Amino acid sequence: MLRTSNSVPALLVLLNLIIVSILPATPITDKPFQDWTLQEAIRVLTEPPWAQKETFTRLIDGIGSGVRGEKEIYNTFFVRFLSARPIREAYARVKQLEHKYDQLSPEEKNRVDMSLRPVLELNVESWIVVAVSFRSNDPDLESRVRQFWRDQTTGTLQNQTFLSSEHFPQIQLAAYYPPLEESIGAKFVFPRDINGVPVVLAEDKTVTFELLDLPGANPHLRVTFEVAEMTKKGQLAL
């Protein structure tokens, strides 16, 4: 008579664990942003597909030289598609958690919700918005970049700021807004379509943001995003 080993159930459990481990994880953005942890929200804000960071480094040589004791200077630009809803939801979730949202009364939650509406309900039907923020361990350079953002206008940036896709190279800037808060940064607005044709299509491989002659960069900022990954529930989210 054929006997079933006691190890078979354990083996089946192990096989199930292996199968689950190799299946693709459910994307963070496929669950309501109100359920995101702080770590998940920060991941959306700092990692691809909707966010990239570009770091430029320089070494300061010489005895006694450096910036406040730092011999290696890090200049990091964070580039994010603010028009992509997952980025706006991540900002909103961080703000919720700062206010301990899950512990608030219904009235207090409503006040927080109202304060987040301008971000969550940003009208991006006709526009693609890229946000750029900056961090450095050189305080003087941080001040220079803040002043640079304040001094710029749409006119001064139009010939040095571009969004490019495979079929629309160097899409010209439509509007520029200096930073209102450090976390979001400066905002660069581009048309979502040209002559009725979307500037970024789902079949495009990449979309690139470029800003020339920027303090802290070397000397240009150029960041490329993978379009195929910029989806939410199967739809291009940009």
pTM for the model stands at 0.83
pLDDT at position 181, please? Answer: 79
Q: Give the residue ranges of DSSP H helices in the chain.
A: 7-22, 38-46, 85-98, 106-120, 139-151, 154-157
pLDDT band with cut points at 50, 70 and 90 for residue 70: low
pLDDT band at 200 (very low <50, low <70, confident <90, very high): very high
Helix 38-46 and helix 85-98, axial crossing angle in degrees, nearest 10: 140
pLDDT class of 26 with cuts at 50, 70, 90: low
Write the pLDDT tens digit of every residue in 134-163: 999 999 999 999 999 999 999 999 999 999
Instruction: Note whether 126 and 71 are within 8 A (CB).
Output: no
Q: Which residue has the tokens 């054929």?
A: 2
Between CA 75 and CA 142 the distance in angstroms is 9
* Mean pLDDT in residue range 80-108: 94
pLDDT at residue 74, as a whole number: 93
Closest CA to 76 of 224, 233, 229, 223: 223
Report the pLDDT averaged over residues 55-72.
Answer: 66
Q: What is the mean pLDDT of the chain?
A: 86
